[in-house]
């Protein structure tokens, strides 16, 4: 269960730390500290103070402007996507292996989040910061019996990628990050070659 947010602890970092569906609504910042509000947008805006403290504690490596309010437990195969009112801007992706959650950000605002699959013990998913090396809309694995890998975003020279998968309990990948196919399609259309993907295995990154 996600720990309660206390004081100026980062709402963004806490939201990222949600497990499979263990993502209650983050605490809202006081109105006077909120830089923006968008009518009809179900998200929490992050204050400068929350960003400062989270960066100082090493919880993440860049500022976040807002995160989505995920109000119920997400199950395998589920995702949320809401880019309403989010302006154009730099894209980046954060993957939390421990909590099996991927988050997509545009101009510092979270626009999508999904439950993921990741690498089994014998073929672990690497951690680090990876630029997207290639985008392949209709890809099939040469190594693994022509297995379909729709909307592939290649991250490493040896083929570790984010791609569409049948995300179900008990499944794993050969090192890739599997996301629901519809989510993979949306992600594929949003990101560009060179955009950064940060993969972490604990709370601090």
Pick the range with the lowest mean pLDDT from 35-39, 86-90, 124-128, 173-177: 35-39
Pick the range with the lowest mean pLDDT from 1-5, 136-140, 157-161: 1-5
* Residues constituting the chain: 205
pLDDT at residue 167 in the model: 78
User: Residue 135: pLDDT band by 50, 70, 90 thresholds?
Assistant: very high
User: Residue 65: pLDDT band by 50, 70, 90 thresholds?
Assistant: very high
User: How confident is the model over 133-147, as a mean pLDDT?
Assistant: 74
User: Residue 22: pLDDT band by 50, 70, 90 thresholds?
Assistant: very low
pLDDT at residue 26 in the model: 36
pLDDT at residue 148 in the model: 72
Highest mean pLDDT of the ranges 22-26, 36-40, 186-190: 186-190
User: Residue 174: pLDDT band by 50, 70, 90 thresholds?
Assistant: low
Reply yes or no on whether the pLDDT at 77 is more than 60.
yes
Q: pTM (2 decimals)? A: 0.78
d(CA 111, CA 25): 15
Higher-pLDDT residue of 74, 171 = 74
pLDDT at residue 5 in the model: 27
Q: How far is CA 88 from CA 84, 108, 111, 152, in A?
A: 11, 10, 11, 23
Percent above pLDDT 90 for the chain: 40
* Cβ–Cβ < 8 Å for 111, 172: no
Q: Domain segments of the chain: what residues?
A: 11-200
pLDDT at residue 36 in the model: 56
What is the CATH topology of the domain spanning 11-200? L,D-transpeptidase catalytic domain-like (2.40.440)
User: How confident is the model over 36-52, as a mean pLDDT?
Assistant: 79
């Amino acid at each position: 269960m996600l720990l309660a947010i206390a004081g100026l602890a980062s709402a963004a970092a806490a939201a990222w730390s949600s497990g499979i569906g263990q993502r209650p609504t983050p605490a809202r910042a006081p109105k006077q500290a909120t830089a923006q509000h968008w009518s009809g947008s179900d998200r929490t805006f992050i204050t400068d103070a929350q960003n400062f403290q989270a960066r100082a504690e090493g919880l993440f490596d860049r500022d976040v402007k807002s995160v989505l309010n995920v109000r119920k437990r997400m199950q395998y195969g589920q995702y949320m996507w809401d880019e309403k009112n989010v302006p154009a801007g730099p894209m980046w992706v954060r993957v939390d292996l421990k909590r099996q959650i991927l988050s997509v950000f545009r101009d510092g605002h979270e626009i999508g989040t999904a439950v993921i699959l990741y690498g089994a013990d014998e073929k672990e998913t690497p951690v680090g910061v990876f630029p997207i090396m290639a985008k392949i809309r209709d890809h099939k694995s040469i190594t693994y019996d022509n297995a379909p890998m729709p909307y592939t975003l290649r991250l490493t020279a040896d083929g570790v990628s984010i791609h569409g998968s049948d995300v179900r309990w008990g499944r794993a990948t050969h090192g890739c990050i599997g996301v629901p196919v519809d989510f993979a399609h949306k992600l594929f259309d949003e990101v560009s070659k060179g955009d950064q993907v940060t993969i972490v295995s604990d709370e601090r990154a």
